[in-house]
Structure formats: structure tokens, C-alpha cells
Amino acid sequence: MVLLKANGDFPLSNIGEIALYGSGSRQTIKGGTGSGDVNSRFYVTVEQGLEKAGFTITTKDWMDHYDRVQELAHQEFVAGVKSKAQATGVPAIMLGMGAVMPEPEYELPVEGAGDTAIYVLSRNSGEGSDRNVVGGDLLLTETEIRDIRAIANTYKQFMLVLNVGGVVDLTPVMEVPNILILSQLGVVTGDALADVLLGKSCPSGKLTTTWAAWEDYSPIGDFGLEDDTRYREGVYVGYRYFDSVSQTPLFPFGFGLSYTKFSIVESVASLDGSRVNVNVTVKNVGSTSGKEVVQLYVSVPSGKLDQPFQTLAAFAKTEELDAGQGQQIMLSFAMEELTSYDTERTVDVLEAGDYLLRVGSSSRDTHICGIVRMNQEVITRQLSHAGGTPDFEDWKPEAQQWTYAGESDKRANAQVLILSADDFVAGVNPAIPEIDSAVRNMVEGLSDSELAWLCVGNYRSGNESGSVIGNAAFTVAGAAGETTTRLKEKGIPPLVMSDGPAGLRLSRQYGVDEVGVYPVGESIPPTLLDFMDDEVKAALGFQKSGGAERSGSIYDQYCTALPIGTALAQSWNMDFCRACGDIVGDEMERFGVHLWLAPAFNIHRSPLCGRNYEYFSEDPLISGRVAAAITHGVQSHPGCGVTIKHYVANNQETNRFRSNSVVSERALRDIYLRGFKICIEESQPYALMTSYNLLNGVHTSERKDIITGILREEWGFDGIVMSDWVVNGVQHGTKKYPYAKAAKSIKAGNDVMMPGSEADHTDVLTALAGTNKTVTLTRDEVQDCAARIIHIVFKLAGAKTQPSNIIDKGV
Ligand code: BGC
């Protein structure tokens, strides 16, 4: 959790009466909507958590009334979407997907007994829709502003608790003395809040995304356009923008308070080749125990290339420090990690000049602790053009960048470390491991049709709708999908894939009958079920527990809902992220899932992206590191791999299948690709998912330059590349750009088109036969993809001692 404001009234010293208000008090949100929602057995709401901890809630009436307000508003909302669907001819499920009802206005008396009050403000969002700049979504409602202010003035102690997945503009309530981002923490949400209110644990999270007033966010680039969204702001994303225009946000990147206080008493920098080490001593100078996150930023000198004021270069979290206790921490990074891409010369470069090292506890609270001086430019790597070219020049800051008062004196006295070109080793492309000859022989022996089966997901013949996104697996009920089962007899079992990122997403219950395994009841999120007609539900084979259409026994299958991606990142705690990955890996082993469709770490480019809650940060370093830590946790389990996603420049949900992200090569490499590179180099994930969107006019899954070129040749990725899940054949509406297609994707090196359909199979076969109107494929090209898939099938499914099939297990 991130403590944004504190006046010392918390933690509470007594368990007693508490007046609990706000949408999240009973209807607490454990995680957002869509494929990122996890079907846990239960989760603890704030009301339940506080009661379990011994509090007496004095506002039960308020909560009962609020439930009715919500229910009525929800009915109206669903009816509105359905009538819009009728009017436009677009299926309600497409319009409703991810559409989240804004918080309604209401009039309820604020009169709960007690000296202490908590207002839990919640916001939901998810796949398929972006957030809106309206009250009840990014902004506060009139009701919220009125009640929060009134409650803050009525009770002796008051805490505003934010049960949110992303930014809310808090400008109207900034006078509130205590504000805590609870976030959405999965099963433990309410329990964890009780612990923090009572001081059993001390909040130690820090923001991984800038929280600002809505009008202060960058107006430079487009956001959420249907066809072309131009990323005109270039590399000036998040704090890189706020620093560059001298704008003070409400709460800066890296910020978070604690119940105690820390000082960073000493920091000494040294060089080891091109690696910079900064030794820091952190001391708890308050009166209670807690943890601090130390951050190291570098101001890279502007030369030929313009530069943001600072860039996060390293960070570390302390142990739990008792009052008075100190800890030595070493922050370390290689200068190569700070390069910028020079588009003209297609190189990664460090220009000559002074690199200022800044250590501190947030992006706006640091001191210069050294200077790395480079007397000449160093080109660290020769690269080539990739990703396409936009039709504009990136924005550059003109105004004076933000800076600290008295900075020049500190700079004059700082220790200087000289670095020369000889301290660098030239970067080269890593060797790509050869696929073993047994696998090569195997693919040569497969027919064209068999190869095509391997390269599209496991679809149900003649029943396209069965391959519905998020529920297409035959083997494990409620798993998102799997690679083909049609080649089992040839010794190639399927890879079963299940969503994330806040845990493993399976159906809560499944049935087993003579036909096989089938998901029951709520395996599709209620937010989607609301928009499905009974006919559609029946066609998809979903039914309530004990439903009549299919018989057989019904079993339970529960997974753990973990904190959402943003909350994991806000911990800045890599051990904790790894531990969460370990929980997922453990459940994957139990349920027979090979590939987890997570972690997801697209950059928080705008606070309006509907899926930001799944993602980590506006900064690529913390994004890549958190993803690597989670990957280590999952992949420490035999037969379990992650699928990092969505590669790349997938930063909005509006028209998500067919929107075109127009991005410069420099912004692409320095911001959007960087997190993927870090994760791949640090943790070798088994799979990667390309994104739905186009990148500079071509679907990412169809871009050979970023798949074969950057991913495989430059970074040495040797896992599977899969598409994001397009069901060929159920597309709707006319848009400027087409949907991604299977054969074109395979040609680019995107190994498998998920979740697969008969139409995808045909697309590949006709491309092989030379009768496809848009593309031709050679057998070699398809064999390469097939070989990479089998290579990972053998590593993951082949590694299991038990068959992964639930039926085979005799459950
Ligand atoms: C989402 C992916 C998800 C996939 C499978 C897609 O709609 O964008 O993140 O993994 O569905 O459920």
C-alpha cells in the first residue's frame, strides 16, 4: 500500500467503533475486470476484514442503502448498453466488454457513531474499454467530494482509503489529512487494510506512476483514438514529462510515506568497468519499524539527443528496520542501461558529458551523490531500423526543466568519476541456441495440415464460437486455451495456457462428463455475462452449477487472487514479486497449466488506459525488473512458464484489435521495448504474446522486424511467440485497419495464432499452397515456427511426470 498523506493519527491505538463509508467498504474490488480477473474461492472485503480484526462497524445502514443505489444504477447501466447495442447493431457483449459503470451520485446521511471514520473509494476498469474523464471514474463524483470533506470534518480521525487500480484525480480532497492507496490486493484485501490501520504492518509502497491533476497530464500525444494514435510525446512519458515542463504533480513517481521516517545518511559512488555502484546507508529515524525504498536516478546529458531531466537507474528496498536501525545498500547499474537510441545512425549511444547520480526516496526528493564524466561519446551497440516510421517528429521540451534549488553548488562539490571508451565492451547479438535435430526431423515429417494445426491454437472443428477468448481449453476447465491436441498421437501434447496476471485464472467449478471437461457457471466474468443473451450462453456451453444441458460430476477448482500488477510493482520488492510468481507456479503445477498468460507490463502511458491495473508502471526499468522477478518465481516450477505480454505499444483499449500506435523508433526502443528487453535478459521467459494493435501501420504479430529482428536476433529470445487472441471469423464492424491474420503472423515469426480457428488453419494452408490472396508461406517458414513450439512443448509438457489432463488424473 502507498501512504500518500499522514498526520500521525494512524495507526489507530484501539480497536473500537469505526464508521465505514464509500463504495469500496462492502463492494470492495479485489482486482479489475476481464481476462485479468481471477476466480478465487473468496476474498476478504474491507467490511469483513475490519470486523474480523474486532472493529464494530457503525454504518451498516449506510452500506445497506448504498447496495440498493448500486444495484439500481447497475440495472440502468446494463439496459443502456443493451439499447445502444440494438440501435447500432454491434453485439452487446462487444460494447459491454470492459465497460465499467461510473460510480453513481447518491444522497445518504453521514451519521455513523464513533471517533474514527474510513471512506473507501473504489474504481474498477478492465479489458476492452478505456477509462473516462468523468466523475465516478478518473474524477471524483460530487457525492464523493461532499461526503469525504464532511466526514473529514466530523470525525476525530479520518482516513481516505483508495481501493483503486489506477489514478484518481484527488485535487478536490487534497486537504484530507490521511490518504492511503490500498489498491486491489486479491484475497487478502480487507485483512491487509485492517493490519495497516492497526499498525500491525507499516505501509512501505511507493508510486510507480505519477499521480497528478487531470489537466496537468501531458496533452502532447493522442490517446484513445479509433484508428491512429500518435505518440508525439516521444520519450517524455510520466515523470520524464512532468520533470521536463517543471510541473509539480499531486504525488510524484517514487513517492510514498510511512508510519516512520528514514534518512539516507551517506552515499558513495564508485566505478567497476562501466558499472556504477552507489553505496547508501539508510537509517530509520522514526519511532516505529518500517521499510524504505531507495531510488537512484541519473540525469543524462543532452547532446545531439535531447534528454529528460532524469531516468530511474536502480532501486532497492530495505529490510524491515527497527526504530534507530540502519542498513547498507548497494545500488548498481551498468552505463549501457542508460543509452539512448540514435535513429539517424541506428545505434545505442552514451553521449559525452556529465551524468549526475541522484539518490533519494522519490523522484522529487534526491541529492546528487556523484558525477560520472564521459569525455567522449560511446556507441554501445550497432542496431538497425525496426518498427516503422511515424509521420511526425517527437516533441522536445523547450522550457527550463525542473531542477532543485541550490543544485549548482551541490554539483560543483560532487565527487567525479571518469569513464572512458576503454571501460566498455562492444555489445553484440547473442547466439541463438540451435533447435535440436530430433525436433527438426519431427517437423519435417509433419504434413502441411499438421504443421498448420501446430501454428494455430486448439479450436473446436465446426464450432467457431467454442473458441471464445478466455475459455477455449479442452484440457483444463476455464483455462484460456491450448496448443493443438490433434498431434497427441504423434507424441506432441498440448501446452495448456491460463490467464493472469493477478493469479491463475481458471473456472471456479467444472464438470466432467463422457464428452470431457467443461467449465461451469461463473468462468466468464459476471461483467461479461450481463451482456450475453441466454442463447449465446447456451451456444458457448456455459451453465450454472448442476445445469441440465451437460451432466456428470461437478468439481471445485480454486485459485488464489493475488494483488494486481500495479500493486506488486508499488511494493518495489523483488523478493515479494518472486514469491507471488512462486504461488502461481505452484498452482500451475497442481492444475496442469504450462503457460501463464502473464506478466503483462505495457507502459502506463496515460492514466486512462483501462488495463493499467494489470500493468506495472510508467517506467520501463521497474516494469522489466518486476516482470523478471515474477518470471523467476513461476519458472522455478518444473513444466511452468510465463508469457510476457503485450509486445508492444499496446497502451489503450479503445478499438483494441485494430488501433494503430504511431511511435518513433527512439521512443519505441528507449521506453516501450526496454522493459521487455530487461525481463528477457534477466529471466528468459518461455513465451511472449504480441499485441492486438498495429505498430506504425502493421500489426505487431505481423512485424518481422520486431519479432525475428529485435526479439530473437538482438535479444536472443528463444521461446514461443504467440498472438494476442483474435478469433478469426467472429469479427465485427468496419474500421480503417484489418484484423491480424494467421499466415502473415507466421511469416513474421509469430509462431502460433491463438486461440485458433478453422479459418486460421485454412489461412495457413492456402498461404502454403500459394493460393492465399495476401501472403505466401514456404514450408521452411512454417517449420521454423512449429519447431520452436515443439521445443517448448518438450521443455514444459514433456517435463511433467504426471499427465496434465484433469480427466487423465482421474479427478
Ligand atoms: C487479452 C490477453 C489475454 C487473452 C486470453 C485477450 O483478449 O488481451 O491479455 O491473455 O485474451 O484470454
Q: What is the pLDDT of residues 81-134, one digit of tens each?
A: 889 888 888 778 777 777 889 999 999 999 999 999 999 999 999 888 999 999
Report the C-alpha gap between 806 and 238 in whole angstroms: 45
Is the Cβ atom of 524 under 6 angstroms away from ligand 1?
no
Stretch 755-774: mean pLDDT, rounded? 96
Query: Using 50, 70 and 90 to split pLDDT, how confident is the model at 535?
Result: low
**Which residue, by CA, sits nearest to atom 3 of ligand 1?**
35
> What does the pLDDT look like over 547-604, one tens digit per residue?
446 778 888 888 999 999 999 999 999 999 999 999 999 999 999 999 999 999 999 9
**Which string of b and e fits 778-809 if b means at least 16 CB within 10 Å?**
eeebbbbbbbbbbbbbbbbbeeeeeebbbeee
CB 362 within 8 A of CB 206: yes
Q: Is residue 469 within 6 Å of ligand 1 at its C-beta?
A: yes
Phi, psi of 297 (to 5 degrees): -110, 155
137 lines ligand 1 (CB under 6 A): no
Range 30-52 average pLDDT: 91
The closest of 682, 582, 596 to 645, measured between CA atoms, is 596
**Please, which pLDDT band fits residue 197 given cuts at 50, 70 and 90?**
very high
Spatial separation of the C-alpha atoms in residues 405 and 750, rounded to whole Å: 51
In 648-807, where does DSSP find H-type helix?
665-667, 674-683, 704, 742-748, 758-769, 779-796
The answer on pLDDT for 808 being more than 50 is no
Give dist(CA 640, CA 643) in Å, integer. Answer: 10
CA torsion, ordered 28, 32, 36, 42, to nearest 10 deg: 10
In this structure, the residue with its CA closest to atom 12 of ligand 1 is 470
| Ligand 1 contact via 242 beta carbon (within 6 Å) | no
Q: Residue 354 — pLDDT band, cuts 50, 70, 90?
A: very high
**Cell numbers 531542477: residue:** 403
Q: Give the residue whose CA is nearest to atom 11 of ligand 1.
A: 725
Cell of 342: 540514435
Burial label for 75, CB within 10 Å (0-12, 13-18, 19+), is exposed
Enumerate residues 6+ apart whose C-beta is below 8 A from 82.
92, 531
Taking the centre of ligand 1 as the mean of its atom positions, its distance from the CA of residue 326, in whole angstroms, is: 45
What is the CA(752)–ligand 1 centre distance, in A? 14
Q: What is the mean pLDDT of the chain?
A: 92
Q: Ligand 1 in contact with 480 (CB < 6 A)? A: yes
Using a 6 Å cutoff on CB, does residue 597 contact ligand 1? Answer: yes
Is 470 touching ligand 1 by the criterion CB < 6 Å?
yes
- Ligand 1 centroid to 167 CA: how many Å? 23
Determine the residue of 458, 653, 725 to mutate for testing ligand 1's pocket, defined as the one with the most ligand atoms within 8 A of the Cβ atom: 725
- Distance set, CA 133 to CA 96, 99, 566 (Å): 18, 14, 20
- pLDDT tens, residue by residue, 369-406: 999 999 999 999 999 999 999 999 999 998 767 888 88
Of 506, 495, 404, 500, the closest CA to residue 458 belongs to 495
Is 32:125 a contact under the CB 8 Å cutoff? Answer: yes
Q: Compute the distance from residue 555 Cα to the ligand 1 centre, in Å.
A: 25
Domains in the chain with CATH codes? 2-201 (3.40.50.1700), 239-423 (2.60.40.10), 437-506+557-800 (3.20.20.300), 507-556 (no CATH)
Q: Which atom of ligand 1 is nearest to the CA of 499?
A: 10
Asked if residue 645 has its Cβ within 6 Å of ligand 1, the reply is: yes
> Is the bond leading into 235 cis (omega within 30 degrees of zero)?
no
Which DSSP symbol is given to 644? E
- d(CA 734, ligand 1 centre) in Å: 22
Length of the chain: 811
Closest CA to 556 of 599, 506, 600: 506
- Per-residue confidence (pLDDT) for residue 219, from 0 to 100: 96
Atom of ligand 1 nearest to the CA of 645: 9
The reported pLDDT for the residue numbered 534 is 67
Q: What is the largest CA-CA distance in the chain?
A: 79
Q: How far apart are CA 688 and CA 668, in angstroms?
A: 17
Cell of 448: 502441411
Least-confidence region, from 101-115, 155-169, 514-528, 688-702:
514-528
Q: Give yes or no for residue 644 CB within 6 A of ligand 1.
A: no
Distance CA 388, CA 697 (A): 8
Angle, helices 674-683/620-635, rounded to nearest 10 degrees: 30
Instruction: Say which residues have a Cβ less than 8 Å from residue 708's Cβ, sequence separation at least 6.
Output: 748, 749
Residue 305: the pLDDT is 96
CA of 503 from ligand 1 middle (Å) equals 14
C-alpha of residue 684 to centroid of ligand 1, in Å: 21
Q: What are the cell numbers at 95?
A: 460494447
The predicted pLDDT at position 471 comes to: 60
